[in-house]
C-alpha cells in the first residue's frame, strides 16, 4: 500500500482504540455518579462537579488519540 493509505488506516485505528478507553472511563464515572446520587441525593450538586472534572480527564485520553490521528492525516 502507499504511504498515504497506511497513514489513513493508522489514524482510523488510533482514534478508534483511543475512544474505547475514554468511553469506558466516562461510563464508569457516570455509573459511580448515579450510585452516589441514588444513595445520597443530597450530595448531587457536589458530586456532579467532581464528575465533570473526572469526565474531562477521561475524555482527554480520546483527544490524545485524536491528536495522533490528526498528525498522521496531516502528513
Partner 1 sequence: MEHWLYSINLSGHTLTFNLDTIFTMWFAMIVIIIFSLLATRKLSLVPNKLQAFCEGIMNFFWGIMGSMNTAKEHVPLIASLFLFIVIANLMGQLPLRIIHLKTGELASPTNDINLTAGLAVIVLIYYVTAGILKKGPKFFLHELSFTGIVTMFVEILEMVTRPLSLAIRLFANIFAGEILVSIALGAFAYFAPLPIMLFEIFVAFVQATVFMMLTIAYVSSATGQEH
Binding residues for partner 1, rule: CB under 8 A, are 52-53, 56-57, 59-60, 63-64, 66-67, 70
Q: Which is nearer to partner 1, 1 or 58 (CB)?
A: 58
Q: How far apart are CA 2 and CA 51, in angstroms?
A: 44
**Sign for the pseudo-dihedral over CA of 19, 23, 24, 29:** positive
Cβ at position 36, least distance to partner 1 in Å: 17
Q: Which is nearer to partner 1, 6 or 63 (CB)?
A: 63
- Give the integer Cα–Cα distance in Å for 71 and 14: 11
Q: Which is nearer to partner 1, 10 or 66 (CB)?
A: 66
Amino acid at each position: 500500500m502507499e504511504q498515504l493509505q497506511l497513514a489513513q488506516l493508522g489514524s482510523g485505528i488510533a482514534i478508534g482504540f483511543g475512544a474505547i478507553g475514554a468511553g469506558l472511563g466516562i461510563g464508569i464515572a457516570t455509573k459511580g455518579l448515579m450510585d452516589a446520587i441514588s444513595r445520597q441525593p443530597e450530595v448531587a450538586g457536589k458530586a456532579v462537579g467532581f464528575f465533570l472534572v473526572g469526565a474531562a480527564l477521561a475524555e482527554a485520553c480520546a483527544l490524545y488519540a485524536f491528536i495522533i490521528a490528526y498528525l498522521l492525516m496531516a502528513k
